[in-house]
């Protein structure tokens, strides 16, 4: 939620000369995207978003992310479309950072999605999966199950400091996931967003209008995307002492997805362990951010306990029906 | 440079129902304005900025700031124009904060203004002064000379920690200003912006296109606005060891101003002490922000030494000619 890299007048002017976008009319830093610097850019030919990639994004992955968005846009799926410069390239350098201009996508991110929006999101995500079925590039999920023991190591005490006894529960989750080996399930794989939280989806009213921020996208189980969304769209508030799975929202999300792409029996079977795994993934990265942020910092990291609460719910669910499927 | 207050879906929807602006198409937090939360708001009828006023702005001053912008807009001076709700009011409440929607102003803030932009800014500011000549509301400058001894008290050691011997120099500046009593000069007074830094001015190419962020505006000497701009537009970089007054930029700024509103002899005479006073004002508020920010904070305050360097220059200037007037 910040602008990390300032762009000088000369650098912006020189950068825009590489494009056929006309003259600039507005240029404002926007508080969107945790990892990168984003600017609203308006020119005499339209509105755009200019992104500078900061250090946390691996530059070697950028052609994959840009190729993915170009593929989706070419299929008519609503997402920010990378704009080509005069030389045909869309990835270039600005202020020493990799940078890209993408089309402006209309829509608002719901702060608290309603049931209709959950259904729409499910259907939109399934359309995205289908549109990506013939996307040829691949990328390993760098935050998949293989990475979790490494992320967890050394953070047991941080977990127990947040909630006494939590580290033993997380160790149980990791053991259960390792035993289930969800990554080896014979379930459909493809290109997934892997971070499709409400702030990465746009709506006009209750109608789905697009997806942004593909910087965790990777090749993984399609149903893992559904698991990420059940965690991020169908739980409410996630207060310290409450575990609030909103069954109506979860059921609507799954029904919306299945209205476009019905789940296979193996995917339904895997859903509880995938949901548990997705919650572990976000718990772990939040725990690391939480414990590495000094107490007096102005930017508060997100509370890992919100995902510990979700895990408490997932541990009890044995079938897809438990999520409303 | 942040968004402090989040706006819920329901609150935004209810708020927009008070206006005739159509349906929302985009809503993004923007990194503009140090004191308030600002959002880019696009609706089916146009583009706007939604501002929520945070605690540092005195709510009692808001009718003045809004009236000022309405007055300027009615005169055709380019600035964000407060939008009336259906009930005729433009100041209302959102998420417990005073809030206003203003028109979107095209233009880019120069990071490093050139000579042409300095001349344009001077002319634009003079047009603003003339447009405000019949603005009836008044507001005392809460950061004027009377406030400086109080701001300074207790910060002598902070100044010396930044630069050994600095506190004695600042005490000299305050004594010189008190002896000169610039606030009692018989020079033209009126409504001034009082914070017209480059990030508060917009340009299309080199052409002045408007002014934003009037939240320090007040009733004071018109030439004080010129003094603030000479400090903020005509010095370069302000590195620790350099005092770089760009004479060409300063002369262009003054010439641009005088092309619209020639300075009176008393204003020329007061210019050096006004420039020195303006530098003291920004030095002091930066010093307070600097010394109240913990060392490890993510948001770095602006370095007060940039204004200590300007003061070193101003102490040696005796006439307006020293600034290129």
Residue B194 burial (C-beta neighbours within 10 Å; 0-12, 13-18, 19+): buried
Nearest by CB to residue B29, choosing from A9, A32, A205, is A32
How much is the average pLDDT of B293-307? 75
**Does residue A1 form part of some domain?**
no
Residues B97, B158, single domain; the answer is: no
Alpha carbons B281 and A55: distance in angstroms, whole number: 37
Count how many Cα atoms sit within 13 Å of the Cα of residue B76 in the half-sphere of its side chain. Answer: 1
**Does residue A55 form part of some domain?**
yes
B209 to chain A: closest CA residue: A25
Residues B151, B126, single domain; the answer is: yes
Among A103, A123, A152, residue at a domain's last position: A103
- Cβ atoms of B311 and B179 closer than 8 Å: no
Q: Nearest-CA distance from A204 to chain B in Å?
A: 6
Among A103, A133, A150, residue at a domain's last position: A103
How much is the average pLDDT of B300-320? 91
- Polymer length in residues for chain A: 325
Question: CA torsion A65→A67→A73→A74, rounded to 10°?
Answer: -170
* Total beta-carbon pairs less than 8 A apart between chain A and chain B: 89
**Does residue A127 form part of some domain?**
yes
- Residues of A near B (CB-CB distance < 8 A)? 1-3, 6-10, 12, 23-32, 40, 42, 104, 106-108, 110-112, 204-205, 294, 296-299
Residues A93, A137, single domain; the answer is: no
> How many independent structural domains does chain B possess?
2
Q: Nearest-CA distance from A107 to chain B in Å?
A: 5
Q: Is A32 within 8 Å of B32 when comparing Cβ atoms? A: no
Alpha carbons B200 and B196: distance in angstroms, whole number: 6
Among B74, B103, B132, residue at a domain's last position: B103
How much is the average pLDDT of B250-268? 97
Residues A278, A298, single domain; the answer is: yes
Q: If pLDDT is split at 50, 70 and 90, which confidence band does B201 have?
A: very high
Which pLDDT does position A293 carry in this prediction?
74
Alpha carbons B8 and B205: distance in angstroms, whole number: 37
- Per the prediction, chain B carries an average pLDDT of 92
B237 Ramachandran zone, left/alpha/beta (phi>0; psi -120 to 50): left
Instruction: Report the candidate in A249, A269, A137 with the shortest Cα–Cα distance to residue A191.
Output: A137
CATH, residue B281: 3.90.1200.10
Q: Which chain A residues are Cβ-neighbours of B9 within 8 angstroms?
A: 108, 110-112
Which pLDDT does position B2 carry in this prediction?
57
Q: Is A24 within 8 Å of B106 when comparing Cβ atoms? A: no
**Does residue A109 form part of some domain?**
no
Residues B194, B233, single domain; the answer is: yes
CATH, residue A76: 3.30.200.20
Please say if the pLDDT value at position B323 is more than 90.
Answer: yes
How much is the average pLDDT of B277-285? 97
Alpha carbons A111 and B163: distance in angstroms, whole number: 47
pTM: 0.88
Residues A218, A276, single domain; the answer is: yes
- Residues of B near A (CB-CB distance < 8 A)? 1-3, 6-10, 12, 23-32, 40, 42, 104, 106-108, 110-112, 204-205, 294, 296-299
Nearest by CB to residue B3, choosing from A31, A297, A298, is A31
Which pLDDT does position A298 carry in this prediction?
56
Which pLDDT does position B15 carry in this prediction?
97
Alpha carbons B21 and B82: distance in angstroms, whole number: 13
Domain that holds residue B209: 115-323
Residues B36, B122, single domain; the answer is: no
Exposure letters A278-294 (e unless 16+ CB within 10 A, then b): bbbbbbbbbbbebbeee
Which pLDDT does position A160 carry in this prediction?
96
**Does residue A110 form part of some domain?**
no
Residues A135, A243, single domain; the answer is: yes
**Does residue B109 form part of some domain?**
no
Residues B133, B273, single domain; the answer is: yes
Which pLDDT does position B260 carry in this prediction?
98
Residue A1 burial (C-beta neighbours within 10 Å; 0-12, 13-18, 19+): middle
Q: Is A28 within 8 Å of B30 when comparing Cβ atoms? A: yes
Alpha carbons A211 and A125: distance in angstroms, whole number: 9
Return phi, psi of residue B145, to 5°. -50, -35
Q: Which long-range contacts (CB under 8 A, 24 or more apart) does A192-195 make?
A: A192/A129, A192/A141, A192/A217, A192/A218, A192/A219, A192/A220, A192/A221, A192/A222, A192/A224, A192/A225, A193/A125, A193/A128, A193/A217, A193/A225, A193/A228, A194/A141, A194/A143, A194/A218, A194/A220, A194/A224, A194/A225, A194/A228, A195/A228
Nearest by CB to residue B112, choosing from A8, A111, A112, is A8
Residues A119, A99, single domain; the answer is: no
- Cβ atoms of B201 and B208 closer than 8 Å: yes
* B201 sits in which H/E element: strand B201-204
Nearest by CB to residue A6, choosing from B32, B107, B111, is B111
B39 to chain A: closest CA residue: A30
**Does residue B108 form part of some domain?**
no
- Can you spell out the DSSP letters for B280-305? HHHHHHHHHHHHTS-TT-SSPPPPTH
What percent of chain B has a predicted confidence (pLDDT) above 70? Answer: 94
| Lowest-confidence segment of A257-271, B183-197, B202-216, B238-252 by average pLDDT | B238-252
Task: Chunk chain A into consecutive blocks of 10 residues (it has 325) and report each block's average pLDDT, rounded to whole numbers.
Answer: 77 96 94 81 96 88 96 98 96 95 96 96 98 97 94 95 95 94 83 97 97 96 98 82 86 98 96 97 94 68 89 95 94
Residues B92, B180, single domain; the answer is: no
Question: pLDDT of B132-188, one tens digit each?
Answer: 999 999 999 999 999 999 999 999 999 999 999 999 999 999 999 999 887 677 899
Residues A148, A20, single domain; the answer is: no
Instruction: Report the candidate in B123, B119, B147, B118 with the shortest Cα–Cα distance to residue B277.
Output: B147
ipTM confidence: 0.85
Instruction: Report the candidate in B230, B197, B190, B235 with the shortest Cα–Cα distance to residue B214.
Output: B197
Nearest by CB to residue A23, choosing from B23, B32, B205, is B205
**Does residue B3 form part of some domain?**
no
Q: Is A298 within 8 Å of B297 when comparing Cβ atoms? A: yes
Alpha carbons B59 and B281: distance in angstroms, whole number: 22
- Cβ atoms of A246 and A138 closer than 8 Å: no
Alpha carbons A128 and A231: distance in angstroms, whole number: 19
Alpha carbons A66 and A83: distance in angstroms, whole number: 10
């Amino acid at each position: 939620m910040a602008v990390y890299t300032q762009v000088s007048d000369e650098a912006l002017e020189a950068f825009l000369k590489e494009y056929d976008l006309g003259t600039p009319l507005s240029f404002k830093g926007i508080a969107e995207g945790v990892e990168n610097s984003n600017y609203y850019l308006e020119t005499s030919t339209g509105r755009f978003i200019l992104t500078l990639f900061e250090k946390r994004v691996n530059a070697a992955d950028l052609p994959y992310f840009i190729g993915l968005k170009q593929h989706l846009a070419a299929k008519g799926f609503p997402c920010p479309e990378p704009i080509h410069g005069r030389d045909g390239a869309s990835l270039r350098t600005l202020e020493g950072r990799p940078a890209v201009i993408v089309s402006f996508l209309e829509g608002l991110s719901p702060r608290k999605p309603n049931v209709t929006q959950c259904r729409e999101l499910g259907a939109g995500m399934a359309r995205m999966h289908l549109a990506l079925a013939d996307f040829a590039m691949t990328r390993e999920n760098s935050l998949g199950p293989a990475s979790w023991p490494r992320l967890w190591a050394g953070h047991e005490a941080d977990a127990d400091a947040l909630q006494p006894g939590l580290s033993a529960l997380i160790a149980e989750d990791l053991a259960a996931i390792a035993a289930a080996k969800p990554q080896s399930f014979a379930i459909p794989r493809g290109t997934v967003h892997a971070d499709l939280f409400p702030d990465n989806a746009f709506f006009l009213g209750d109608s789905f209008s697009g997806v942004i921020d593909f910087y965790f996208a990777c090749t993984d189980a399609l149903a893992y995307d559904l698991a990420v969304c059940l965690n991020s769209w169908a739980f409410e508030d996630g207060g310290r002492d409450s575990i609030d799975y909103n069954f109506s929202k979860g059921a609507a999300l799954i029904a919306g997805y299945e209205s476009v792409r019905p789940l296979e029996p193996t995917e339904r079977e895997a859903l509880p362990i995938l949901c548990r795994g997705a919650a572990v993934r976000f718990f772990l990265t939040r725990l690391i951010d939480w414990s590495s942020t000094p107490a007096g910092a102005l930017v508060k990291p997100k509370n890992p306990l919100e995902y510990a609460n979700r895990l408490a719910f997932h541990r009890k669910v044995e079938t897809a029906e438990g999520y409303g499927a």
